Amino acid sequence: MSYEVAVVGVGQTKFEYQSKKTTQELVFEAAKKALDDAGMTLEEIDTVVYGSAPDGFDGINMKGEHVIDAAGALGKPFERVFVGGATGALAPITGYYHVASGLSRATLVICQEKMSPCKPKPQGLFNTIFDEFTDRPMGINLIYIFALEMNRYMTVNKIKLETLAKVSVKNKKNAMDNPYAQLPMEITVEDVLNAPVMAYPVTKYHISPSSDGAAAAVFVNKNIAKYKEKPVWIAGVGWCLDSTYWTNRDLAYPKYVEYAARQAYNMAGIKNPQKEIQVAEPYDPFSYKELQHAEGLLLANRGEGWKLIEEGIAYRDGKLPLSPSGGLLGVGNPIAAAGMMKFNEIVLQLRGDAGKRQVKNNPKVGVVQAWGGLMQFTGVLVLKA
Amino acid sequence: MHERIAIIGAAMSPLRATYPELSYKELMFATVSKALLDAGIGKDDVDSLVTCSDDLWEGRSIGDEFVPDQIGGALKPNNRINADGVYGVFQAFMQIRAKVATIVTVVAHSKSSDLITKNRILNYALDPVIERPLAQHPYFIPALEATRYMYETGITPADLARVVIKNRQAALKNPYAAYGAKLTPETVQNSPTISSPLTELDAAYYADGVAVVILAPESVAKNLKTKPVYVLGIGWDSESAHLGARNWGRADYAYKAGIRVYEMAGIKNPAQELDFAEIDDRFSYKELMHAEALRLVPEGQGKKVLTGETMPINPSGGYLGLGYAPNAAGLTRVVEAVFQLRGEAGSRQVKNATKGLVFGWYGPPSASGGAVILGNE
């Protein structure tokens, strides 16, 4: 048998560039807020899962060992999950199986990133994620390869830049209602198109910023959840890693996202995601990613992700709101913490606690996704009120 | 009652100072293939994969990107933990119990011979402001720990030398070991000091290697030809890595991991109930310290490991004899324990072994480690 798992507390820090808080302070703040939200103390926590991406950002090896105190993990089973950008989903998935296996009654999951210590720009570090012989010498970084992928996605599906710009406009506007957001703004499609080009077709507003921040949640089993108000249940989890050889892959459609989504939907008993999912936080480090991931999550037919934005479905008052938090484009992208922020947003939306960000369709089922690696890794969680 | 979980396949590459003829990818492919063959299953039977690695040891960021193809993991669930390889077994165990996967492959690898700046990498694990400037050599932390431990227990440098001699001698019987040797106390104690009181031979040498285990529930294991080895308990713990906040004379993390693993495995008196132990000996003193913390010997009597009054401890030769493959280390010992419990350990076989303990430590400067108890009944 496996145990049912509920989320009973969430918390996060402000996402910002060059935060004055240390890595440990960010971890502590998010963890404390999540515990307070759950009405629990550290004594009730059995295990701690920490998610954080490249050690190179902090310039610290074995980064997890440095936050054990701040994470409240002293004298407890503790582990660090790190799978690139998908860490924000794999850390909660790992937290899920800690509790679902019965090994832990209550698990604290904390994701944190401090990108700004990496000089001159964090993006430079991303050169070191590439193959040292074939890719790195080209001076390649993430923006280049996503420009390639964005181009391919637009070409295959005949999508205009204006459509993708609307995603940026929506998410940055959604972030206006998020007190933790780094880049909330009201801009127009023209602003996005006319912004400085970073690597064509990616302009400055098509991409999420570098950020510092942390987000955390408390996972418990049914015996504890029954004493808590508004527990949100983890109904399904799925994750998938595709081949290292991204150059040999279909860049227009993320098959690995579909595999992860199908695993999570099967577990959650969801037959028709387009009908049953009421709110979603697909990973949106780039504007096109939100739509491409929505297709992978089977929230739109293949090649028809653009309809979600053009037909108004993805807005907060739409049928299937996407990134009501403001997403990575609006709230910020502290790698591991970004996915966790999205996870927390779905929890708040399902509880009806999202305040000004609350979507209008009274959702009971939501999905969250995070993504990373060489365009190859995705984790998906289905949550139910 | 939970269904029991078994290791259905295991393999490791012989540990060697260097594998110049194979890349880490080739070494992983070969070892995973061997483990699948050992289990009698194909790669498509595997539901989920777990790896343990660290970016700085890998020499690339997000190192897990580079593993799926050679381990049969492409387009499958993969998870990566930054820890000693023994933590991979915990993930597989929990995933199977949580019913998110049925058959899980755990892989940990090291190509440490590729690295020419190992000590700098270890120094990068220290606090950049307060601790890193102190570090002439990263082994100053184990050296301080050894000093305190020896002060508290009366263990002498000659005793530490005996640990080294014992383990490297045992490794002569192990075809997987890189550093089997017959040493004299003088050779060990007179070898160059790295950080007093530790000499060059008190620290395990690095090695290249890959270790793989495949786990499945008992119902699956029963239908396979390979003799299952059951995971009877898992337990791990983390204490502060900071110099000002740690317990220097005692391995608290091993003690607490021990409490958890013994409780799960239903073991009251580990010294009596276990038949052998494969515990971390990255440094000579660590074997004694860990043996105490894990209650294989009475408190303060680590020396008993050397007098033959205990169960066989590190019959494989330990890291001192096998070689230390960062991240893969603990998993190499799990594979060793599987060989012992299947009766496949050749001339190093422990007679009538039914239950064994494996303990892996994340290495300096951490105070984190995990334990597994395996059994064949």
Question: What is the number of alpha carbons within 13 Å of residue B315 lying toward its C-beta?
Answer: 25
Instruction: Give residue for tokens 């897990």.
Output: B64
A86 inside domain: yes
pLDDT above 90: residue A123: no
Whether A315 and A324 have beta carbons less than 8 Å apart is answered as no
Q: Tell the residue number behind the tokens 């299952």, with chain if given.
A: B228
The pLDDT-based confidence of A141 (bands split at 50, 70, 90) is confident
Per-residue pLDDT, A121: 87
Domain presence at residue A283: yes
| Residue B147 maps to a domain | no
Model pLDDT for residues A165-199, shown as the tens digit of each residue: 999 999 999 999 999 999 999 999 999 999 999 99
Q: pLDDT tens digits, residue range A294-322?
A: 999 999 999 999 999 999 999 999 999 99
- What domain range is A322 assigned to? 5-118+209-384
> Which residues in chain B land under pLDDT 50?
none
Q: Which of residues 85-114 of B touch A (CB under 8 A)?
A: 87, 90-91, 93-95, 97-100
* B87: chain A residues, CB-CB within 8 Å: 79
Chain A environment of B240 (Cβ under 8 Å): 68-69, 74
Cβ-Cβ contacts under 8 Å, A244 against chain B: 65-69
CA-derived radius of gyration, chain B:
19
B contact test, residue of A48, A58, A62, A131 with most B CBs within 10 A: A62
Place of tokens 């999202």: A354
Q: Is residue A149 part of a domain?
A: no
**Domain containing residue B81:** 5-116+209-221
Judge contact between A286 and A146, C-beta under 8 A.
Answer: yes
Query: Locate tokens 């285990």: which residue?
Result: B213
Closest CA to B83 of B274, B244, B234, B273: B234
pLDDT at A124: 87
Express as a percent the part of chain A with pLDDT over 90: 91
Q: Report the number of distinct structural domains present in chain A.
A: 1
CATH no. for residue A220?
Answer: 3.40.47.10
Burial-class residue B209 by CB neighbours within 10 Å (0-12, 13-18, 19+).
Answer: buried
Residue A140 has pLDDT above 90, yes or no: no
Counting the structural domains of chain B, the total is 1
Neighbours of A245 (CB within 10 A): 14
Residue B291 lies in a domain: no
Question: How many beta carbons lie within 10 A of that of residue A311, not counting itself?
Answer: 12
For A91, the closest chain B residue by CA position comes to B79
B3 shares contact with chain A (CB less than 8 Å): no
B366 contacts chain A (CB < 8 A)? yes
In A, minimum Cα distance to B75 occurs at A242
The CATH number linked to B76 is: 3.40.47.10
pLDDT value, residue A64: 96
Q: What pairing do the DSSP bridges indicate for beta strands B355-361 and B78-81?
A: unpaired
Our measurement of the distance from residue B102's CA atom to the centroid of its chain's CA atoms, rounded to an integer in Å, reads 24
- Give SS3 for B6: strand
Which of A3, A30, A6, A4 lies closest to A228, judged by CA? A6
**Residue A165: inside a domain:** no
Least confident range from A77-86, A123-132, B112-121: namely: A123-132
Summarised one tens digit per residue, pLDDT across range B205-263 is 999 999 999 999 999 999 999 999 999 999 999 999 888 889 999 999 999 999 999 99
Q: What is the pLDDT of residues A193-225, one digit of tens each?
A: 999 999 999 999 999 999 999 999 999 999 999
Distance CA A292, CA A299 (A): 10
How distant is the Cα of B24 from the closest Cα of chain A, in angstroms? 13
Is the pLDDT at A1 greater than 80, yes or no?
no
Bridge partners, A214 (sequence order): A112
Interface of A with B in 125-154 (CB under 8 A): 125-126, 128-132
Q: Is B307 exposed, middle or buried (0-12, 13-18, 19+ CB in 10 A)?
A: exposed
Contact B77 A240 (CB under 8 A): yes
Residue B43's identity, in one-letter code, is K
Q: What percentage of residues in chain A have a pLDDT greater than 70? A: 100
The SS3 of residue A126 is helix
Is A351 inside any structural domain? yes
ipTM of the complex: 0.97
Over residues A81-102, the mean pLDDT reads 97
In a domain, A299, yes or no: yes
pLDDT in tens, A222-264: 999 999 999 999 999 999 999 999 888 899 999 999 999 999 9
